[in-house]
Structure 1
Amino acid sequence: MAKRLIPSLNRVLIEKIVPPSKTTAGILLPEKSSQLNSGKVVAVGPGALDKSGNLIPVSVKEGDTVLLPEYGGTQIKLNDKEFHLYRDEDILGTLHD
């Protein structure tokens, strides 16, 4: 049975989007290309409570593509896949086509 992580409070579980290292024709691409540091939201926590006890929901939802800071997040390995856990306020924004 596969494990599923549901983040606590205002944390967001993200699978980073890794740009391809070579083209379909087999041409190797440089590691540092102009790709954005982005990822896909896999799971979100319920949110955090403010000082009055009101729930502040997480600003992203499962399936969103988000822009991530260059550093930060906690690396987690589940079912041989690598994920990262970020706080909602650390996510820089959502990406849309």
Structure 2
Amino acid sequence: MRAEQALRKFLPLFGRVLVERSACETVTKGGIMLPEKSQGKVLQVTVVTVGSGSKGKIGDKILPENGGTKVVLDNKDYFLFRDGDILGKYVD
């Protein structure tokens, strides 16, 4: 609950999105175990809150450019990206 309260108090400005890093995949769909070195190569994140000018939606799984600004809320790491830094969206 504390993390949700912290997120309610933080609102990105303009076209920015606040994201949470998704857990790294350790096994492929075919059952192949991935070594630790290759697990962190692709940054897949989930949008947790958006600014007023953003096109993203809360809950979207996106692929941003590397970087972003690290934001710590209640001892949990989040990242802040500009809307233009989002390269794509994962569709289920």
Structure-1-length-normalised TM-score: 0.72
Deviation at 1:60, TM superposition (A): 1.0
For 1:79-94, list aligned pairs within 5 A: 79-94=74-89
| C-alpha distance in 1 between matches for 2:43 and 2:79 | 12
Instruction: Specify every segment of 5 or more residues in structure 1 that has no aligned partner in the other structure, as ranges.
Output: 48-57
What letter corresponds to residue 40 of structure 1 in structure 2?
A: T
Figure out how many residues of one structure are paired with residues of the other and give that number.
82
RMSD, aligned α-carbons: 2.3
Deviation at 1:46, TM superposition (A): 0.3
- CA displacement, residues 13-40 of structure 1 (integer Å, 9 cap, x when unaligned): 0001131568xxxx88322248631100
Moved segments of 4+, more than 4 Å: none
Higher helix share: 2
Which residue in 1 is equivalent to 2:49?
43
Unaligned runs of 5+ in 2: 28-32
Kindly name which structure, 1 or 2, has the bigger radius of gyration based on alpha carbons: 1
Contact 1:19 1:35 in 2 (8 A): no
Q: Structure 1 residues 65 and 88, CA, compared in 2 at 3 Å: closer, same or farther?
A: same
Superposition TM-score, scaled by structure 2 size: 0.75
SS in 2 for 1:31: helix
TM-aligned CA distance change 1:34 to 1:15, over 3 Å: closer
Sequence identity, in percent? 34
